[in-house]
Structure 1
Amino acid sequence: MITCIIIEDELPAQNILKNFIRKVPNIELIATFQTAKEANIFLNETPVDFLFLDINLPDILGIDFIKTIQNPPQIIITTAYPTYAVDSFELETIVDYLVKPYSFDRFLKAIVKVEKNTQRTQYASNDTIFLNIDKTLHKLYLNDILYIESDRNYLTFITFQKKYVLIDTLKSWKTKLPSHFYQVHKSYLINLNHIERIIGNEVYLGDQNIPIGRTFKSDFIKKFNSKK
């Protein structure tokens, strides 16, 4: 379930959003606010996955309000003024910009962007990660992961037990995982703890052999030798 709040001072606009949200089963609206001040107090105490934010609020401009939020969630702008679109997309947390009146189909396109970003924002601890796949969180122990394979916009996590496929990029996971996960090829990130042998341009993890990319080999061998 993806959680959200609405920050919108006009009641008719609030009601439209609430009606649209009710039609999407995996979104939970947990609060609605008419002022940025009230919303900010709530956000400091309760994390949410994303929020709907009107540009023209009675106490502050929506764009300026975003800059005051500590650890801001994903944001979908809702406004009658398209002129702020360029400025808003300079802020990384803004995923879409809905100009009123917008249709339910246009609303759904914004939600899809949030869902994809939420999949990339995985929950991790020192020894486990959670993969968001088809609206279900799957817990994986890092030590069980042999390697991660990239195929266009999809990643496959290969463990001793099974495979997990999700929409994401190898680049994003390089920064999330600990240092014993190392890239040996443009399409592969491996767990160094499970290396059994290296032969030529292949590294063997259990009964799996992974190619070593030419541009990665020198740094990989240095990394491998430093772990001995």
Structure 2
Amino acid sequence: MNTHLRCLLIDDEPLAQELLLDHIAEVSNLEIVGVASNALQAIELYQSLKPDLLLLDINLPRMNGYELLRSLPGKAPWVIAVSGYQEFAFEGFENNVVDFLLKPVTFSRFVRAIAKVHERIQALDTGGATASLATTVGAVSGQLAIKEGKNMVNVACQDIILIEAMSDYVKITLPDRTLVSHQRVSALEKLLPAPLFVRVNRSFIVNTARIRQTDGQQIEMQSGQRVPVGTTYRSVVSSIIRGAL
């Protein structure tokens, strides 16, 4: 059963607030506990309300969302970042956000982001019980525990160059080695920080920070590997990668 999440919405745009509040109202396991329009108000509400989840606009006046996040006391909550500017997505990985939503946020994309939060929570709750899956040792540390054969290997997300699906296995390319793990690429994709990793075709996920160049139809990684961009992925991939290169 999905965990009930108490949400604090932080956004200085009235129309964006209204849209996100409408989305929250449609999701049964979400509860809005407060709305803040600036960083100082957000800090006060965060300290008094202790929410489980922040829906955090990055383009706040005087202090941006990531600066606000770094200033919060105590254990960091789950965070979904929101912005009208794609270039803020990549800084999200460094600040351990679960997902990054580009404005205007559609309801389907919002639901996927909330589902990703629940998947992270479930992975932490189950610990190592699901041995065939990578686990979020890494939801807040940027690390994944990857099961290779009988061994668990800790991998820093930023070290992953690309991931290739091979039926019920994935091949994970690192700078100094390649791991093969018995799991579906779709399961691993849900645990990867969305601002840093992007699906470019049915078989490949790439680390956008390790792209050397792309013409929109093919990507060349810094390692020299070339990956084709699937037709249905091209518009999304081009918009994301423009902000990374």
Name the TM-score, length of structure 2 as normaliser: 0.51
Structure number with bigger Rg: 1
Matched to 1:87, the amino acid is: E
Kindly indicate whether the alpha-carbon contact (under 8 Å) linking 2:8 and 2:46 is maintained by their aligned counterparts in 1: no
Please state if 1:98 is matched with 2:101.
yes
Describe the superposition over 1:63-86 as per-residue Cα deviations: whole angstroms up to 9, x where unpaired.
Answer: 111110122211111110111111
2:61 to 58, 62, 72: 58
- Give the count of matched residue pairs: 137
Please state if 1:76 is matched with 2:56.
no
Kindly indicate whether the alpha-carbon contact (under 8 Å) linking 1:6 and 1:33 is maintained by their aligned counterparts in 2: yes
- Alpha-carbon distance change, 36 to 112 in structure 1, aligned in 2, over 3 angstroms: same
- Alpha-carbon distance change, 51 to 34 in structure 1, aligned in 2, over 3 angstroms: same
Unaligned runs of 5+ in 2: 139-149, 153-245
Which SS does the other structure have where 1:150 is aligned?
coil
* Distance in 2 between residues matched to 1:8 and 1:84, nearest whole Å: 15
- Alpha-carbon RMSD across the aligned residues, in angstroms, is 2.4
1:152 counterpart residue number: 132
- Alpha-carbon distance change, 171 to 44 in structure 1, aligned in 2, over 3 angstroms: closer
Matched to 1:62, the amino acid is: G
- Alpha-carbon distance change, 9 to 69 in structure 1, aligned in 2, over 3 angstroms: same
* Distance in 2 between residues matched to 1:100 and 1:106, nearest whole Å: 10
Using the TM superposition, give the Cα deviation of residue 114 of structure 1 relative to its aligned residue in structure 2, in angstroms. 0.8
Describe the superposition over 1:27-56 as per-residue Cα deviations: whole angstroms up to 9, x where unpaired.
Answer: 111111101111111212332111111111
1:15 to 18, 26, 29: 18
- Alpha-carbon distance change, 31 to 44 in structure 1, aligned in 2, over 3 angstroms: same
- Alpha-carbon distance change, 186 to 52 in structure 1, aligned in 2, over 3 angstroms: same
* Distance in 2 between residues matched to 1:34 and 1:120, nearest whole Å: 32
Percent identity over the alignment?
31
Larger RCO of the pair (alpha carbons < 8 Å, separation 6+): 2
Matched to 1:4, the amino acid is: C
Unaligned runs of 5+ in 1: 123-130, 132-147, 154-167, 173-184, 188-228
Matched to 2:39, the amino acid is: A
